[in-house]
Amino acid sequence: MTTFKRASRALTSKLSAIYTCNFHPVTSLSHFSYTHNASFCSRPRQNSKEGSTIDLNQYPSDNIRNFSIIAHVDHGKSTLADRLLELTGTIRKGHGQPQYLDKLQVERERGITVKAQTATMFHRHKFLGSDTDFLLNLIDTPGHVDFSYEVSRSLAACQGALLVVDAAQGVQAQTVANFYLAFESNLAIIPVINKIDQPTADPDRVKAQLKSMFDLNPSDVLLTSAKTGLGLEQVLPAAIERIPPPPGKSTSPLRMLLLDSYYDEYKGVICHVAIVDGALHKGDKICSAATGQSYEVSDVGIMHPELVATGILLTGQVGYIVSGMRSTKEARVGDTLHHTRTVIQPLPGFKPAKHMVFSGLYPADGSDFEALNHAIERLTCNDASVSVTKESSTALGLGFRNMEHTSFPLFLQCHIFLSTQMEGMVQNPAALPSNPKNRLIACWEPTVLATIIIPSEYVGSVISLCAERRGEQLEYSFIDSQRAFMKYRMPLREIVVDFYNELKSITSGYASFDYEDSEYQASDLLKLDILLNGQPVDAMATIVHKSKAPRVGRELVEKLKKFIDRQMFEIIIQAAIGSKVIARETLSAMRKNVLAKCYGGDVTRKRKLLEKQKEGKKRMKRVGSVDIPQEAFHELLKVS
């Protein structure tokens, strides 16, 4: 049975909104700033409209097409978006800025798309026998595994999607995930095989994969090279002819869907919106269905691709509004905005991004806390999905917890049930009882559904890796004679640390991987304490699966021994579960030669000096504290 058919059956049980966690450090906080660069402003050409003279009244819904470009990472979405912007004269050809819509600094540095971006284009096309002007909204989405929540949000504003697949690599894990997101949103899907200029391109093989995986008709597939321009002229006509216009009613009261928001130093909060019904004019008073808060629209326009004021947005159009919101926290993604004094049925919106990974971030040098605080405030202003609480740790000083975009996933939330009849969600291992009286009697941990696509020769090693990570195989089939498709349920904690790197390394980089969050499952989880000279160090406690406790305990104490400097007294490093020590290392004391100046002679004097030294060491052990370098904490996080 094809994957497509299997998925069609499963459609009744809706996929939960994907919120993906940040497995790979992608950015430093200071890089999360928009870099609107004036030198790349659009300069309209033949097909485009001059910013100030754009009259959106010319574009009723029938002349509007809203579509996304979705694909696996690096299959050429952003390059294709660039070419389409050039083709419609929205940006100058050879504007010197590859991946124009990748505006974040991190996107430009890493060559990946993180935030979905929208651009409005104008294009004339012979439609139903006559030349017609169309308004096209193109939404470039991230393909990277960490950002698929952005994809699902973008699709809500679209009626169609270009599914781009690399002609040499073929269908990959995020191709599958993105296809289902689009398919479930009932979008018209236009398959595009890109990079056909590559010597290893095999479009026929990829067409066959699209047919067997998704039941997409080979004759509907467009063949393009976003690099050389080959085949690009078919893309916009196909979008206009195959994608339906937005379905909203222009005569109904205004309902607009809030898609995204960011903070601009000069304008304040800028919201990206899709007008589902009705029309919005500059000066209108609007209201949030979620909070009841009212605002006055001081600016409204389109992204062309920079902000161009139009004074109006009509049914089916996608654009921006400025309405005096003070922070992006007020701009709830998925909220319905409507005119004050009208009663409307709010749009379904999106499921809120689920907090799946809880992280801690502490500056190595405590005096940097204020700078970190400032950077985090800017980040939370720009990205409403990040929530933060300040925290003070005895070992690490002042810091933050509960961030979603940090580099070090520390603790995952798990659900516990105690013999004292207490029940709750736990994020911090320190909150788990070590005390046998408060015995943990049940524990549930979050899981993910992982999709893995690999060349057939790596099947054995990938199965071993997944088994070692406590994966349960749900599906195993072949896409074609060369590539296997596998689906696993895996505990989230097992893939957070290094799973993707290990998968890449055992498959020589050929594996592709995607995941979506799934339910909690009962699990034998234990709290593993780290003790230094018998004292538990809260910040080092961790939650481990029973089967892994001995290995993790051993690795942790060995790592700590390497990172803690020898001190004037012996340090005993232990890993323990409850009162049972499961691993131990001893860091011997630095021995000061107190007899160095004592030449020859008096044995009693020597003995006295040694006794005094022993006393001093005892005192230091008792009153002194063990210095633990920051690297030790960072290294501990890598042990899973």
Ligand X SMILES: Nc1nc2c(ncn2[C@@H]2O[C@H](COP(=O)(O)OP(=O)(O)OP(=O)(O)O)[C@@H](O)[C@H]2O)c(=O)[nH]1
Q: Which residues are annotated as a binding site?
A: 71-78, 140-144, 194-197
What crossing angle do the helices spanning 235-242 and 77-87 adopt, rounded to 10°?
A: 90
Closer residue to ligand X in complex, CB, 99/380: 99
Closer residue to ligand X in complex, CB, 49/195: 195
Q: Which H/E stretch holds residue 84?
A: helix 77-87
Cα–Cα distance for residue pair 302/119, rounded to 1 Å: 8
**According to the binding rule CB under 6 A, does residue 511 interact with ligand X?**
no
In this chain, which of 227, 355, 584, 606 binds ligand X, going by CB under 6 A?
Answer: 227
Q: How far is the CB of 69 from ligand X (least distance, A)?
A: 8
Residues 176-205, one symbol each (x = binds ligand X by CB under 6 A, - = not), give ------------------xx-xx-------
Taking CB under 6 A as the binding criterion, the range among 71-79, 234-242, 264-272, 424-432 that sits at the site for ligand X is: 71-79
Cα–Cα distance for residue pair 51/43, rounded to 1 Å: 9
In this chain, which of 65, 77, 207, 469 binds ligand X, going by CB under 6 A?
Answer: 77
**According to the binding rule CB under 6 A, does residue 78 interact with ligand X?**
yes
Strands 222-223 and 188-194: parallel
CB neighbour burial string for 571-589, b if at least 16 within 10 angstroms, e if fewer: bebbbbbeeeebbebebee
Q: How far is the CB of 290 from ligand X (least distance, A)?
A: 31
Q: How far is the CB of 495 from ligand X (least distance, A)?
A: 20
**According to the binding rule CB under 6 A, does residue 83 interact with ligand X?**
no
Q: What is the CA 501 to chain-centroid distance, rounded?
A: 16
Q: How far is the CB of 102 from ligand X (least distance, A)?
A: 7
Closer residue to ligand X in complex, CB, 74/635: 74
In this chain, which of 24, 62, 111, 423 binds ligand X, going by CB under 6 A?
Answer: 111
Cα–Cα distance for residue pair 487/275, rounded to 1 Å: 38
**According to the binding rule CB under 6 A, does residue 71 interact with ligand X?**
yes
Binding-site sequence positions for GTP: 71-78, 140-144, 194-197
**According to the binding rule CB under 6 A, does residue 169 interact with ligand X?**
no
**Do 230 and 259 contact (CB within 8 A), yes or no?**
no
In this chain, which of 89, 142, 160, 363 binds ligand X, going by CB under 6 A?
Answer: 142
Structure tokens at 436: 């046998």
In this chain, which of 189, 226, 243, 530 binds ligand X, going by CB under 6 A?
Answer: 226
Give the CA angle between residues 140, 150, 339 to the nearest 5°. Answer: 95
**Residue position matching structure tokens 């504003």:** 157
Handedness of CA 448, 453, 456, 458 (dihedral sign): negative
CA Rg, the chain, in Å?
Answer: 29
**According to the binding rule CB under 6 A, does residue 225 interact with ligand X?**
yes
Q: How far is the CB of 195 from ligand X (least distance, A)?
A: 4
**According to the binding rule CB under 6 A, does residue 172 interact with ligand X?**
no
In this chain, which of 27, 48, 63, 99 binds ligand X, going by CB under 6 A?
Answer: 99
Cα–Cα distance for residue pair 271/216, rounded to 1 Å: 35
**Residue position matching structure tokens 């010197």:** 96
Residue 154 CB coordination number (10 Å): 30
Closer residue to ligand X in complex, CB, 239/287: 239
Taking CB under 6 A as the binding criterion, the range among 49-57, 70-78, 268-276, 562-570 that sits at the site for ligand X is: 70-78
Give the CA angle between residues 344, 346, 347 to the nearest 5°. Answer: 130
SS3 303: strand
Closer residue to ligand X in complex, CB, 115/339: 115
Taking CB under 6 A as the binding criterion, the range among 122-130, 136-144, 286-294, 412-420 that sits at the site for ligand X is: 136-144
**Do 42 and 304 contact (CB within 8 A), yes or no?**
yes
Residues that bind ligand X (CB under 6 A): 71, 73-79, 99, 111-113, 142-144, 194-195, 197-198, 225-227
